[in-house]
Amino acid sequence: MDAATKHMVEDIYQEAAQEALRRGLSRLTSHKEGVVAAAMLLSAITGQEDDEARGAVVGLNLRPAYGEEA
């Protein structure tokens, strides 16, 4: 994954995770929502299959920025 794509994936992950946290969801659920959103973006950009894109996002080891606006 190139640097620009990685940056977009990280941004969408944090946006989705922060939105879930603001809705009062747990950090785990927020993480899952971030992974799904980021994987959907990555799949759309690269044409990867959903499972492959999800694996790539999980491999980035992202976590919700707790208590911060991302």
Distance CA 30, CA 49 (A): 23
Render pLDDT for 9-57 as a digit per residue (tens, 0 to 9). 999 999 999 999 999 999 999 999 999 999 999 999 999 999 999 999 9
Contact criterion met (CB below 8 Å) for 5 and 45? yes
Domain boundaries, the chain: 3-59
Beta strands in the chain (DSSP E): none
Other Cβ atoms less than 10 A from the Cβ of 67: the count is 6
Query: pTM to 2 decimals?
Result: 0.89
